[in-house]
Amino acid sequence: MKYVRQVATVAMKDVRAELRTKEAINASLAFALMILLLFSYTFDPEQEMMRQVSGGLLWIVFAFAGTLTLNRSFARELPNDCLDALIAAPIPGSALFLGKCFASFVLVLAVELVSLPVFGIFYRVHWTPQFPALFGVLLLGTWALTIIGTIFSALTVNIKLREVMLPMLTYPILMPALMSAMRLTTSLVNGQPIPEDDFAWLKMLIGFDVVFTAVSLALVETVLVG
């Protein structure tokens, strides 16, 4: 239970700090809405094609906007050398890491849940019928985004060109998860349940989450202490 409390302490600290300044969350939300707006110029909402690309489009928005938040995850520890104090504290590196993951997860999910209705309005898709399943896919996909984004945020925290390196590292690795999430979301966001054939994608997404959570936890001490 002590471990859980430690994770919670770190997570609460991050969320509280972010809500005070709102730097990342404002940028992330504005960015998401901008992309949604820009893309609406490209597609005619009446067309069938819109329905087919909707899932992909949504996850592109989530991935790009989410990176803005994830970049801040460890970068917020740099001013005043706070990262030193966190590493020196007697909490396991994995607790620090998971605390930050959960905080970022909540923040990114919040931006996604605000973008979803806007998406529905601009693009005239009916996402409400399948919302429980859609929410499940959101959770799984956002966790993939968060876990990879946070571990690489820790890895790149001290290097120059951090804002460039983080997306370059995360997007290729995220491809299987993004593709799976896009596929699953396309049918769900149009009010259709996931077809039988597509359950493999769900397994892929879950598998991705499990594998990379394990790999991240195994390597977290190396990433933090070097």
Partner 1 sequence: MLAALFDSSVWTAMAAAAVAAVASVLFLRSRNFLYDSLALAATEIGLLLLACGIVAGAIGSRLAGGLWWTWDSRLTTALIGFLLYAPYLMLRRAIEEPTRRAASAAVVCIFALFDIPLIALTVNWWLARRTVSLPVSAGWTILPVSLLGAGCAWIRLRQEQQRRAQDAERRTAQEI
Partner 2 sequence: MSAVAVEGVWKYYGDYPALRDIRLEAAEGTCLALIGRNGAGKTTLLRAIAGFSSAQRGKIKIFGKEPREAETRRQMGFIGHGISVYDELSALENLTLFGKLYGLPNPKKSANEWLERTGLERVRDGLVREFSRGMRQRLAVARAFLHEPTVLLLDEPFTALDDRAIAVLQRLLREGLAAGKTIVMSTHQLREALELATHVALLTRGQLAFHGARTQEMADDPGYVYARYGEGA
Residues that bind partner 2 (CB under 8 A): 2, 5-6, 9-10, 13, 16-17, 20-21, 79-82, 84-92, 225-226
Does 113 contact partner 1 by CB under 8 A? no
Contact 118, 186 (CB under 8 A): no
Does 47 contact partner 1 by CB under 8 A? no
CA dihedral 41, 37, 195, 63 (to 10 degrees): 130
The correct pick among 35, 165, 206, 217 for binding partner 1 (CB under 8 A) is: 165
Per partner kind, with CB cut-offs from 5 to 8 A, the member of partner 1, partner 2, none near residue 113 is none
Per partner kind, with CB cut-offs from 5 to 8 A, the member of partner 1, partner 2, none near residue 1 is none
Does 87 contact partner 1 by CB under 8 A? no
The correct pick among 4, 12, 30, 175 for binding partner 1 (CB under 8 A) is: 175
The pattern of x and - marking residues 190 through 209 that bind partner 1 according to CB under 8 A reads -------x--xx--x--xx-
The pattern of x and - marking residues 123 through 162 that bind partner 1 according to CB under 8 A reads -------------------------x--x---xx-xxxx-
3-state secondary structure the chain: CHHHHHHHHHHHHHHHHHHHHCHHHHHHHHHHHHHHHHHHHHCCCCCHHHHHHHHHHHHHHHHHHHHHHHHHHHHCCCHHHHHHHHHHCCCCHHHHHHHHHHHHHHHHHHHHHHHHHHHHHHHCCCCCCCHHHHHHHHHHHHHHHHHHHHHHHHHCCCCCCHHHHHHHHHHHHHHHHHHHHHHHHHHHHCCCCCCHHHHHHHHHHHHHHHHHHHHHHHHHHHHHHC
Cα distance between residue 44 and residue 46, in whole Å: 6
Binding part of the chain for partner 1, among 31-39, 85-93, 115-123, 214-222 by CB under 8 A, reads: 214-222
Nearer to partner 1, 66 or 167 (CB): 167
Does 219 contact partner 1 by CB under 8 A? yes
Binding site for partner 1 (CB under 8 A): 148, 151, 155-156, 158-161, 165, 168-169, 172-173, 175-176, 179-180, 183, 197, 200-201, 204, 207-208, 211-212, 215, 219, 222-223, 226
